[in-house]
Chain A
Amino acid sequence: GAVVSQHPSRVICKSGTSVKIECRSLDFQATTMFWYRQFPKQSLMLMATSNEGSKATYEQGVEKDKFLINHASLTLSTLTVTSAHPEDSSFYICSVPGQGARGKNIQYFGAGTRLSVL
Chain B
Amino acid sequence: QKEVEQNSGPLSVPEGAIASLNCTYSDRGSQSFFWYRQYSGKSPELIMSIYSNGDKEDGRFTAQLNKASQYVSLLIRDSQPSDSATYLCAVSPDDYKLSFGAGTTVTVRA
A contact set with B: CB distance below 8 Å: 32, 34, 42-46, 49, 93, 95, 97, 100-102, 104-107, 109-112, 114
Of all chain A residues, the one with the shortest Cβ separation from B41 is A114
Interface stretch, picked from B12-20, B66-74, B76-84, B95-103, is B95-103
Structural contact, A111 and B32, CB atoms closer than 8 A: no
B contact patch SS:
loop
Task: Return the contact of A93 from the options B43, B101, B103 (Cβ within 8 A).
Answer: B43
Q: A49-B96, A97-B96, A104-B51 are in contact. List 19 more A-B contacts (CB 8 A).
A: A32-B96, A34-B98, A42-B102, A43-B100, A43-B101, A43-B102, A43-B103, A44-B44, A44-B100, A46-B98, A93-B43, A93-B44, A97-B95, A104-B49, A106-B49, A109-B43, A111-B42, A112-B42, A114-B41
A112 touching B97 in the complex, CB below 8 Å, given contacts A42-B102, A101-B49, A106-B49: no
